[in-house]
Amino acid sequence: MEEEKRRRKWKRTGYSSSASNPISNLDDGCLMHIFSFLSPIPDRYNTALVCHRWRYLACHPQLWLRVDRSAKDLSEPGVFPNIETAVAAARPGDTILIAAGGKHLASNIQIKKPLCLIGGGELPDETTLICSRGSDSALEFLSTCKLANLTVKAELGSCLLHRSGRLTIDRCVLQCESNPLDFLSCPIVSTASAQVFPSAAKYQRDGVSVSRTRIEGGAKAVSTSGDLALQRVRVIYAKTSLFFWFDMEQE
């Protein structure tokens, strides 16, 4: 019954199957299988903007885990009230979509498996992770992970603590709040060595890749106490912000 109501809604909104759009003739299972091959950002995210049906399928729990503080029914598979429980339940390779609106608490959350964390808003400012005072970092990475379309704020300590693995940061905002103890704050801290580890495609080294990311506050943008060093740094000056591109790798 629920499935039939959903299909009638698609027809009323003009997204029914038609000869001019052959892909709409595929059933839900086939479309979802196709979507599973798309990269979470930007491809799968963009498919959710096409129509009601594609949004339903692109955001299906089989493809994403979701963090939604406003969700009324937390018994729904794949929906979690906070980031920590979503990370604990995730399997290696899962993508966690963090709902836009409001603020999500993130303090010393260790991520020890390959995951992708993505903000659910159109802009990174719409999905904010707050690291409380007294925490070393909001997120601590010990595996290969990707962070995209998120704002991470920390008052003291760091926004992101990278210990090992390959960390990719794309289209994010990292902010250390103004504080008399600013010299203790740093948006990105890496303690990783340059060890080699196996990945799905090839052997990779520990490192950090940052692209299209605003970094604000703190004593400096990046601090490293391991074997990694800044490379290929680019900065674009906007009216009110600085956008960074750089890598942290072994020299």
pLDDT higher for 3 or 195? Answer: 195
Q: Do 19 and 75 share a domain, yes or no?
A: no
Q: Do 93 and 171 share a domain, yes or no?
A: yes
Residue 201 has pLDDT above 60, yes or no: no
Q: Do 163 and 56 share a domain, yes or no?
A: no
Q: Do 55 and 81 share a domain, yes or no?
A: no
Q: Do 73 and 24 share a domain, yes or no?
A: no
Q: Do 49 and 71 share a domain, yes or no?
A: no
Q: Do 192 and 150 share a domain, yes or no?
A: yes
| 105 conformational bin, left if phi > 0, alpha if psi -120 to 50, beta if neither | beta
Domain boundary among 63, 91, 115: 63
Domain boundary among 13, 39, 63: 63
Please report the pLDDT score of residue 188 as a whole number.
94
pLDDT higher for 130 or 185? Answer: 130
Are 182 and 154 a contacting pair, CB within 8 Å? no
Please report the pLDDT score of residue 198 as a whole number.
56
pLDDT tens-digit readout, 119-173: 988 899 999 999 988 788 999 999 999 999 999 999 878 999 999 999 999 999 9
The count of domains in the chain is 2
Are 120 and 97 a contacting pair, CB within 8 Å? yes
> Up-side HSE of residue 213: CA atoms within 13 Å toward CB?
28
Instruction: Give percent of the chain above pLDDT 70.
Output: 82
Residue 180 has pLDDT above 70, yes or no: no
Phi/psi of residue 247, each to 5°?
-125, 150
Please report the pLDDT score of residue 18 as a whole number.
40
Please report the pLDDT score of residue 2 as a whole number.
54
Contacts with 163 (C-beta within 8 Å, 6 or more apart), sequence order: 140, 141, 142, 190, 191, 192
Could you give the residue ranges of the DSSP H alpha helices within the chain? 2-12, 28-35, 45-47, 52-58, 83-89
Which of 41-50, 62-71, 122-131 comes out lowest in average pLDDT? 41-50
Q: Do 69 and 49 share a domain, yes or no?
A: no
Q: Do 8 and 82 share a domain, yes or no?
A: no
Q: Do 194 and 101 share a domain, yes or no?
A: yes
Domain that includes residue 57, residue range: 1-63
pTM score of the predicted model: 0.76
Q: Do 50 and 130 share a domain, yes or no?
A: no
Most confident of 74-83, 120-129, 212-221: 120-129
User: What CA–CA distance (Å, rounded) separates 97 from 117?
Assistant: 6
